[in-house]
Structure 1
Amino acid sequence: MNLNLMIVISTSLLLILLASIHIYWAFGGLWPGKNKQDLINKVFGRGNHFPSPFSCFVVAIGLFLFSCLPILWLVRSNFGLNPQSINMIRYGKIFVAIVFLLRGLLGYLPWVTKYWVPIFVFYTKRIYNPISLLIGISFLIMSV
């Protein structure tokens, strides 16, 4: 299996996993929290209201659509896509890269993290930021 294929498959699967977690939350799932407030603290970082199920579904749909971009890029020649469609896929991948790179980098800045509860800062710096940076870098690699 070549490196490009491994990056496409692993990035798409990771985004599908993240979309699935958001669907789980939309249906009332509490992991990784023990209760609603613990979940808010661990995945949202502040406040006492978790996003609505609709919001969770919107994020899940976005993540799923993002997961399709690498696959579309990989199989673009099989579908005979025109140059405009290929460019839209390329620009989409660059957009996704920027979104995830910003998410990954901003979470390390003290003036951003000072508004979050400590457990969220811990998870952000150890889990969420590295995953975001990995996804962003993967999309950059796929965009070259």
Structure 2
Amino acid sequence: MTISSAADMNTNFILSIFTSLLLNILACIHIYWAFGGLWPGTNQQDLINKVFGRGNQFPSPFSCLVVAVGLVLFSSLPVLWLVRINLDLSPQITNLIRYSMIFVAIVFLVRGIIGYLPWVTKHWEPIFVRYTKRLYNPISLLIGFSFLLMSI
């Protein structure tokens, strides 16, 4: 193993663990909301304004749990990609993981970009736009680029 490939492995390891951990934290937040948690809001309408951006009804607990399950499944992809050689996966399964990671990257990159478009954000609550531009978009872009980097 060359120094370059060892550095790539370390980078992929750190990126995989960080991305998986971040997605699992986001999944935990969605589970918290499914069971009635209000953070970062102070009441349900404040939570809706900060997290959903408009309307007066927060998504159902079932919807929050579905998103949490999706995030947990997404979080498994970087780890699978990291250990794919040790698992002796077939080329078809390896390609399925790679294309799944590219799909997840696109989803998060699109989410991260949309929040910066003024013709989209004009329909959202100002507090949500502020949270989106300062927190949600950067996190989405970070996750998207992480998946993209890992899959190439």
| Structure 2: unaligned runs, 5 residues or longer | 1-8
Residue 58 of structure 1, aligned match among 57, 60, 66: 66
Q: Which residue of 2 aligns with 1:92?
A: 100
| Structure 1: unaligned runs, 5 residues or longer | none
CA distance in 2, matches of 1:118, 1:25: 21
Q: TM-score, normalised by structure 2?
A: 0.93
Q: Which letter maps to 1:23? A: I
Residue 123 of structure 1, aligned match among 126, 131, 141: 131
Regions of 4+ moved over 6 Å = none
Q: Which letter maps to 1:136? A: G
Could you say what the CA RMSD is over the residues aligned between the two structures, in angstroms? 0.8
Matched, 1:23 2:3: no
| Structure 1 residue 4 displacement after superposition | 1.1
Equivalent pairs: percent with the same residue? 75
Matched, 1:72 2:72: no
Structure 1 or 2, whichever has the larger Rg, is 2
Secondary structure at the aligned position of 1:78 is classed as coil
| Structure 1 residue 78 displacement after superposition | 1.8
CA distance in 1, matches of 2:108, 2:34: 22
CA distance in 2, matches of 1:109, 1:92: 26
CA distance in 2, matches of 1:71, 1:37: 37
Aligned residues: 144
CA distance in 1, matches of 2:72, 2:120: 27
